[in-house]
Amino acid sequence: MTAPSTPPAGPTAAPAGRREGRADGVLEIDLAADAPRERDGEAPSGRRRGLARRDREVATHNGVVMNTITWRDRLRRDKTLLVMTLPAVGLLVLFAYVPMLGNVIAWQDYSPYIGIADSPFVGWDNFVRVFSNPQFLHAVGNTLLITGFQLVFFFPIPIMLALLLNSVVTPALRTSIQSIIYLPHFFSWVLVVTIFQQIFGGAGLVNRLLAQAGYTGFDLMTNPDTFLVLVTSQAVWKDAGWGIIIFLAALATVDPAHYEASAMDGAGRWRRMWHITLPAIRPTIILLLILRLGDALTVGFEQLILQRGAVGPGVAEVIDTYVYYQGVINGDWAFAAAAGLVKGVVSLLLVLGANKLAHVFGEDGVYRKS
């Protein structure tokens, strides 16, 4: 009969779960103490099953830690969060995705009196009418003109305001300025147009002051030649202050040590802005630019429809107002649905194209390149 082997000489083995130092100074931790001990023949407990599932979540592949948790385990793990999001998802589906089914009328001779089911199918005739309609093409031209003008003269203004506010040292002064320039965002377009009418209209404040000084006045609100400048000025006054919030958040992530190091190296204010501040907010600028291009065919329905009668449809007619008058006022629902669908598809292509261009220049864009 073989005698039982004796343990080797040396230090006594540490109990499970205790920390033990090695000669090379590396600290070893025995994680076996975390696992519950079970007697032979017993089924594993819930805690042990949970630990086993946790151990399966992390695996290594060529030295790289990989997550191998299954989708069922993810559902069990995140079921509380998923239940919390169900109301929001339900509202999104109900008001954003279910109405998309109504786009089928773009391929019908739709009449609300007989419904979608009984309206005759006409194929692509409505889309042919859209692209052959000179009034629609004129509305597209006005839309692109306003978008391009505002992209040049409106989009950079929030960036410049954010840079100016970021250079204000006094917190109280910065808060006061922010509150003042944020306030117009909460005004309705009716109130904004009314304020501009009271200031720049034919009987407005500016004309009265000019008349008292002996000068001839002007009516900015009814002049088609200056309508492009007018709507851009209204958009700047109303939304430029609100647009700086995202840029201020991006500027807050810049490490002050970068400014201190560059100042010690002799960099002035302009060099610090050019080499530190602008590169830090460049991803945010590109992201917002991509999103703005996605809305290139949407230039403010309320703002323009309120002033369309004063300057005429020649300069104020855009895609949204044309679809409204053609579909809602004139009752040509199928034509309006086709025009709106074309607008949505073009907007999607603009977002994808701009995002692809951002990837070419090494930026993430809306989503990262896989």
What pLDDT, on the 0 to 100 scale, is given for residue 138?
94
- Contacts for 45 with CB less than 8 Å, ≥ 6 apart: 36, 38
The predicted-structure confidence for 137-174, as pLDDT tens digits, reads as follows 999 999 999 999 999 999 999 999 999 888 877 888 88
Domain of 174, CATH number, reads 1.10.3720.10
User: Could you tell me if residue 24 is inside a domain?
Assistant: no
In a domain, residue 192? The reply is: yes
Total tally of structural domains belonging to the chain: 1
Number of Cβ atoms within 10 Å of the Cβ of 204: 19
Q: Which helix (H) or strand (E) holds 59?
A: strand 58-61
Most confident by average pLDDT, 19-23, 141-145, 284-288: 141-145
Q: Is residue 59 included in any domain, yes or no?
A: no
Dihedral in degrees, nearest 10, Cα atoms 84, 89, 91, 97: 180
**Within a domain: 326:** yes
319 within domain boundaries: yes
Specify if 109 maps to a domain. no
Which residues have CB under 8 Å from 288's CB, separation 6+? 155, 246
Average pLDDT over residues 223-248: 91
Domain assignment of residue 307, given as a range:
124-360
| pLDDT for position 20 | 45
Would residue 129 count as lying in a domain? yes
Q: Is position 81 within any domain?
A: no
pLDDT of amino acid 72: 87
Of the chain, the end-to-end C-alpha distance in Å amounts to 66
